[in-house]
C-alpha cells in the first residue's frame, strides 16, 4: 500500500481517528479497506480509505484480503490528533 505523506484532515477525519482510538474498530482488509465501528460500517468509507492510505489507521496485525481484523490509530495518526505515542 502506498502511503500519502501530506494530508489535510477534515473534522470528520479527526472524528473517525478518535473513534478508532477509542477501540471497537475493525478493518475489512483489501485494496480499499473498509472500516467498521462498533460492528457497523462507517458511513464515510472514502474518508476511511484515505486515512488508511495515509497510514493513519492500520490493522493491528498482518492480515489477508477480505479478513476482518481490529484497527488501530498509528503513531502518525496519534501525532495528527496531538495524542502522545503509546508506551
The 10s digit of each residue's pLDDT in 4-60 is: 556 789 999 999 999 999 999 999 988 889 999 999 999 999 999 999 999 999 999
Query: Tell me, what's the pLDDT at 2?
Result: 47
For the entire predicted model, the pTM comes to: 0.84
**55-75 per-position pLDDT tens digit:** 999 999 988 888 999 999 999
Query: Tell me, what's the pLDDT at 5?
Result: 53
CB atoms within 10 A of CB 59: 18
Asked if residue 72 lies in contact with residue 20, where contact means CB atoms within 8 angstroms, the answer is yes
Q: Which three cell numbers stand for residue 52?
A: 488508511
Amino acid at each position: 500500500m502506498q502511503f500519502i505523506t501530506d494530508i489535510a484532515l477534515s473534522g470528520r477525519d479527526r472524528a473517525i481517528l478518535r473513534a478508532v482510538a477509542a477501540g471497537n474498530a475493525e478493518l475489512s482488509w483489501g485494496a480499499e479497506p473498509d472500516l467498521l465501528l462498533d460492528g457497523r460500517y462507517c458511513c464515510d468509507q472514502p474518508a476511511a480509505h484515505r486515512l488508511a492510505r495515509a497510514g493513519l489507521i492500520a490493522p493491528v496485525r498482518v492480515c489477508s484480503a477480505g479478513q476482518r481484523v481490529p484497527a488501530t490509530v498509528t503513531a502518525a495518526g496519534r501525532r495528527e490528533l496531538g495524542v502522545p505515542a503509546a508506551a
